[in-house]
């Protein structure tokens, strides 16, 4: 049997009710959700369980809620004795990956991502920045388009390199619109504007990164006990100082998701388990490499399916 990676979803995967089945079935999962409410001093669990979806989707709520759901559901895998050889998370999911790897306590992480969400919301006035998914275009071609538009005074850059033929761009509203038009002219199959509140993973997030550094100064970051594959480098992170620097850079740098998955596969990972809400990453991993096994664990039932599947291959 090859190696296992636990991968954790980011913003966009949130759904009302996430984490509830895990908390009802498992004391450790329930304790995680209670810790989130206590650390944030407001009933996050109520928004997670009951919504409404619009309220859950607000960046300041979605970020701590997704982390909380992932770490609650992670408890099911821990109790089943399933251990990862690597962890990784998509954007916000990197915090779940760091908690899973022992680099950060859950309470510190949930506080940090709530603040991260606030600073990201404040960095660019609403409506001034945006993001769009570009489908069916080569990354170098799209990079050229973004660099040209940016040089004309309308900042836009590659934000998420998700899988072959799926790249998200981010920047000023006009920059993203111009780059979207030119991408289509140069052969992009489709461009889909994203419903986001800001230009995440672009240079416009640098003001948020500076404020966020102070938050990370307040919390304890330790060396990871399992390698965490970082969004910014698509390489292993273990050292505490490096983890902190990469979390700050991550706010304004592209998420190298495709490269991160390929790195783990090259290290011998043949089983990816997406832990938390939704199955966005499960879909991306399949598009990157069809030959690996991919599971997603979001409740006790899906956890049992993974346990059974892993027993068969051992």
Active site residue ranges:
91, 201
Question: What phi and psi values does residue 252 have, to the nearest 5 degrees?
Answer: -120, 10
In angstroms, the CA 228 to CA 260 distance is 10
The contacts of residue 196 (CB under 8 Å, 6+ apart) are: 11, 130, 131
In contact, 160 and 257? CB cutoff 8 Å: yes
Q: Is 281 helix (H, G, I), strand (E, B) or coil?
A: helix
Phi-psi region of 12 (alpha: psi -120 to 50; beta: other; left: phi over 0): left
The candidate with the shortest Cα–Cα distance to 284, out of 294, 299, 276, is: 294
In contact, 145 and 182? CB cutoff 8 Å: yes
DSSP-assigned beta bridge partners for residue 166 = 135, 163
User: For residue 156, what are the CA distances in angstroms to 90, 147, 173, 300, 311?
Assistant: 20, 7, 9, 42, 47
In angstroms, the CA 15 to CA 12 distance is 9
Long-range contacts, stretch 233-241, CB < 8 angstroms, 24+ apart: 234/259, 234/260, 234/262, 234/263, 235/263, 236/86, 240/103
């Amino acid at each position: 049997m090859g190696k296992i990676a636990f991968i954790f979803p980011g913003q966009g995967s949130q759904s009302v009710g996430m984490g509830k089945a895990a908390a009802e079935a498992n004391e450790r999962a329930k304790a995680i959700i209670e810790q989130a409410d206590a650390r944030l001093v407001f009933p996050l669990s109520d928004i997670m369980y009951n919504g409404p979806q619009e309220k859950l989707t607000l960046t300041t709520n979605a970020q701590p809620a997704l982390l909380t759901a992932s770490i609650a559901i992670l408890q099911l895998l821990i109790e089943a004795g399933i251990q990862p050889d690597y962890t990784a998370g998509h954007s916000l999911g990197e915090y779940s990956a760091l908690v899973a790897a022992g680099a950060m306590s859950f309470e510190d992480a949930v506080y940090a991502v709530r603040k991260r969400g606030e600073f990201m919301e404040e960095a660019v006035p609403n409506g001034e920045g945006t993001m769009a998914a570009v489908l069916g275009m080569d990354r170098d071609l799209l990079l050229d388009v973004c660099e040209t538009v940016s040089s004309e005074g309308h900042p836009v850059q590659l934000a998420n390199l998700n899988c072959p033929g799926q790249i998200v761009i981010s920047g000023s509203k006009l920059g993203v619109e111009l780059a979207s038009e030119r991408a289509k002219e140069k052969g992009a199959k489709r461009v889909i504007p994203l419903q986001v509140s800001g230009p995440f993973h672009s240079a416009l997030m640098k003001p948020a990164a500076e404020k966020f550094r102070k938050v990370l100064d307040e919390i304890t970051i330790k060396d990871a006990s399992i390698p965490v594959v970082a969004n910014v480098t698509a390489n292993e992170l273990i050292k505490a100082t490096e983890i902190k620097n990469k979390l700050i850079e991550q706010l304004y740098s592209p998420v190298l998701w495709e490269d991160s998955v390929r790195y783990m596969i090259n290290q011998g990972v043949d089983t990816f388990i997406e832990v938390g809400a939704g199955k966005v990453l499960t879909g991306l991993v399949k598009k990157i490499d069809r030959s690996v096994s991919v599971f997603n664990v979001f409740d006790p039932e899906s956890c049992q399916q993974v346990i059974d599947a892993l027993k068969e291959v051992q």
